[in-house]
């Protein structure tokens, strides 16, 4: 059964959101080369997805909210 939650929207009002189940399709790493030779790999991992009952974006599409965490891996040169 989906979890319901109340959030405060950007309009300052309370809105009901429902948890939506999901499965990862593709999770990509973003890679950044730093000037000191370090290679940073960063990935956003989605933990929970919610869909707002009555909120819509300017195009009329439903609003989705996510709870996520960032994973960062650094490969530092030996020098």
pLDDT at 40 (0 to 100): 97
Domain count, the chain: 1
pLDDT in tens, 34-65: 999 999 999 999 999 999 888 888 899 998 98
Length of the chain: 79
Q: Which domain holds residue 45?
A: 4-75
- Give pTM, 2 decimals: 0.74
Whose CA is closest to 73, among 41, 26, 25?
Answer: 41
In a 3-state reduction of DSSP, which class is residue 65? strand
Q: Of 70, 57, 67, nearest to 9 (Cα)?
A: 57
């Amino acid at each position: 059964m989906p979890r319901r939650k109340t959030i405060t929207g950007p309009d300052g009002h309370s809105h009901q959101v429902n948890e939506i189940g999901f499965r990862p399709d593709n999770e990509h790493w973003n890679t950044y080369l730093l000037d000191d030779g370090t290679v940073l790999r960063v990935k956003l991992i989605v933990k929970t997805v919610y869909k707002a009952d009555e909120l819509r974006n300017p195009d009329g599409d439903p609003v989705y909210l996510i709870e996520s965490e960032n994973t960062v891996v650094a490969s530092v040169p030996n020098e």
